[in-house]
Structure 1
C-alpha cells in the first residue's frame, strides 16, 4: 500500500513513514493535500494529530472534519529539534521554523531574540535557510544531513520528552477492533446549557475512559465548535454511541491499535 505523507524529504512525517516501511512513500506539500490524495484512493496517509507540547494539529483536525476518512492506526514518535545554519548563532538574522516547531522550541527562540519566519514543514525550513544569507532553520538531524546544514545547537525543544502522535488515515475503516482506541467527531446542532456535560456523561456512566477531548471551530460562525473525542474500547462502547446519537450528531472516525515505531 502506498503511504502518503508530508514532504519535502526530511520531515518528521517522512522519517516516520520510512521507519514503518509499509510500502512506497509519496510526499505531499501540505496536510490538506494528503487528505485529498487519500480521499482520491491514491493510498493511505500518515499525518500528525497532536504534540505533547503544542497540542492538536489544526490542519489534521480540519481534514478529519472535511473528508469522510477513517483512522486505522496511531503511532508515537519522540521529536527532537536542532538549530542548523551555515553561519554561527551570533550571525543569524532570521530563523525558519514550522509553526508547531516554533511552539515546541519557544524557550530557546525567545533567548536567541531572532525573528522567526514560519514555513510549511521542517524540510522547507532547511531549504529556505540554505538560500537565505545569515539564516538558520530548526529541524531534525536527518533533515540537517539531507540539506547539508551544520547543526549548531542540539535538542532545542522545550521538553526533552517532546512527542508527536501520528495517525494513519484510510478510505476503508478497520474491521471491528476489540482493543485499542476509538475516535469520534461530535458536531452539536444545538447550543444549550449542559450540552457538553450530557455528552461526557454518556461515557462517565459506563466507566469508559476518555483519553482526549478537543474543540475546533466548525467554520460556521463565531462560537460554533465541533469536538474530537478519543476513548478506550470497552464492552459498553456501542451502547454509549447509540445514546450519544440520540443527543447530537456524531461521526465515527474509527477504532484502531497503536503501532510501535522501530528505533
Structure 2
C-alpha cells in the first residue's frame, strides 16, 4: 500500500512509515500537500494530529476540515528531540526547528536565548543548519544520521514521556464501524448560549467517554469555530449521532483501530 507522509527523509512521520513497513513511501513537503495527494487517490496518508506537550497539529485539523477524508487508524510514537550542529555550542548563533518541536523543547531553548527560525519539518531544520554558518537544528537521531549532523545534546524535550499521536487518512472509511475509537467534526450552525453544553450533553447522558475535544477556527470569521471530538464507542453511539444531527451539522471522520508501532 502506498503511504504518503511528511518529508524530506528523516522526519518523525517518515520514521513512523518505515517502522510500519509501508511500501512505497511518498514524501510530501507539507501536511497540506499530503491531504491533497490522498484526496487525489495517490495513496493513504500518515499525519501527526496531536502531541502530549504541544497539543493539536493545526495543519492536520485544517486538512480534516477542508478535505472529505476518513481517519482509518491511529498510532502513538514516543518522540525524542536532540540538538545537532557542525560547530560547538558556544558558536551557535541561530537554531532551526519545526514549530511543534519548538514547543516541545521550549524549556531548553529558553535557556540559550538564541534566535529560532521555524521550518516545515525536523529534516528541513537539518538541511538549513548544514548550509548556514554557526547554526544548529533540533531533530531526531535518524535525521542527524541521514544529514550527517553531530548530536551535541540528547533528549532536550520538555517531557521525557513526549509522545505524538498520528492518524492514517484515506478516501475510504474503515470497514469496521464498531472500532474502539471514533472521530467527529462539529460545525455549529448557530452561536447561542449553551450550545456546547447541549452538544456535550448528548454524550454525557449516554455515558459515552470523550477522549479528546478541541476547537479550531472555522475560517468563516472571528469567533466562529469547529470542534473535533474523539469518543469511545458504546451501544448508544448511533443514537447519540442521530440526536447531534438534530442540533447541528456534523461529519463523521471515521471509526478506527489503534495500530501498535514496532520499536
Compute the displacement of 1:23 (Å). Answer: 2.2
**Residue of structure 2 in register with 1:108 after alignment:** 108
Matching residue of 2:84: 84
Residue 22 of structure 1 and its aligned partner are, at CA, apart by 3.0
Secondary structure (helix, strand or coil) at the match of 1:48 reads: strand
- Separation of aligned partners in 2, 1:179 and 1:226: 24
Q: Structure 1: how far apart are the matches of 2:235 and 2:72?
A: 20
Deviations 1:170-220 (A, max 9, x none): 000011332310000000010000000000000000000000000000000
Q: What RMSD over aligned residues (CA atoms) do the two structures have, in Å?
A: 0.5
Aligned position for 1:192: 192
Aligned partner of 2:14 in structure 1 is 14
Partner of 2:129: 129
Give me the whole-angstrom Cα distance separating, in 1, the residues matched to 2:31 and 2:69.
14
In structure 2, what is the Cα distance between the partners aligned to 1:216 and 1:43?
A: 27
Aligned residues: 263
| Residue 73 of structure 2 is aligned to residue 73 of structure 1 | yes
Structure 1 length normalisation: TM-score? 0.99
Q: How does 1:1-263 map to 2 (within 5 A)?
A: 1-263=1-263
User: In structure 1, how many angstroms separate the alpha carbons of the residues matched to 2:223 and 2:13?
Assistant: 32
SS in 2 for 1:138: strand
Deviations 1:214-262 (A, max 9, x none): 0000000000000000000111110000000000000000000000000
> Structure 2 CA distance, aligned partners of 1:82 and 1:190?
46
Give the deviation of 1:123 after TM superposition. 0.2
Instruction: Tell me, in whole angstroms, the C-alpha distance in 1 between the residues paired with 2:232 and 2:129.
Output: 43
1:63 is paired with a residue whose SS is: helix
TM-score, normalising length: structure 2: 0.99
**TM-fit CA distance, 1:8:** 0.3
- Rounded to whole Å, the distance in 1 between the matches of 2:102 and 2:88 is 20
Give the whole-Å Cα distance in 2 for the aligned partners of 1:23 and 1:70: 21
- In 2: Cα distance, 1:128 partner to 1:67 partner: 31
How big is the shift at 1:35? 0.1
Tell me the secondary structure at the aligned position of residue 246 of structure 1: helix
Structure 1: where are the runs of 5+ without partners?
Answer: none
